[in-house]
Structure 1
Amino acid sequence: MSQHKVVLLLGSNIGDKKKNLQEALEHIKKGGNDILKISEFLTSEPVEFVSSNIFCNIASIIFTHLSPIQLLDFIKSIEVEMGRVNDSKVSGGYADRIIDIDIVKYDELKFTSERLEVPHQKHLFEREFSRILLKDFF
């Protein structure tokens, strides 16, 4: 089984945001993934929806044995387990969330499906908070 280098972005804007991010990282680690690097916490305004709840975000580099879709299923299960009730891909819009985990890069793979786009174009090129978090990762 080969290891894949993956960049993740995590965000939370409900409850104890830093604790939520740390808990999500623990779930990722317990799933058999190695966490190589974690950025500092960054607060940001909600993007593409209106909310009075500020986000706390981090970026992380992990090594995983999972395929892109297996990894997506795994991180979605973490979101549900932590109490996330709506997924923006399913609902068609953004809302406050206890945790959000996005796959930004997966090795050098270019992949697009109905559920996943790698690399994640919005995080790499459009969102200011993402560019700040990812600046030391590439």
Structure 2
Amino acid sequence: MSLVVAILMRLAGVAGVKLSQFAAGALFAGVLAVLAGGAAVAAGAHLYNAGFSSADAKCEAAQVAEQNAQLQARLAEKDRQLAFANGLQQRDAMRAAAAEEKLKSNQGAIDATPANPNKCFPRDASRRVRGVR
């Protein structure tokens, strides 16, 4: 420390200012205090910003997780609807195939019976033809 005080006294003398050893030591201690205070303020600001950005990142991560959960729920609902629609389509295809098979078998039965122009429909068949039940 005494070396720094001596250097400060010599530099002040070159500039034309006469400093005592006490004044030079006080000046050096003041400069150190300002540097230490500035470093403490800078460190505090850095910690504040780091905490703020950490909290902001956690909030953003929570929002992203919530949006992902909502999207997953929508996707699961769409998958369920698609499976249901596929089931209906398969059921309808099976019904159509069964109806076509029934039509073929009915046509075969109609073709197998001899045509009798004098024969009338029975009552139930004539109602079905007219659309009355």
Please report the TM-score for the alignment, with normalisation by the length of structure 2: 0.14
Higher relative contact order (CA 8 A, sep 6+): 1
Greater share of strand: 1
Please report the TM-score for the alignment, with normalisation by the length of structure 1: 0.14
Larger Rg over CA atoms: 2
Greater share of helix: 2
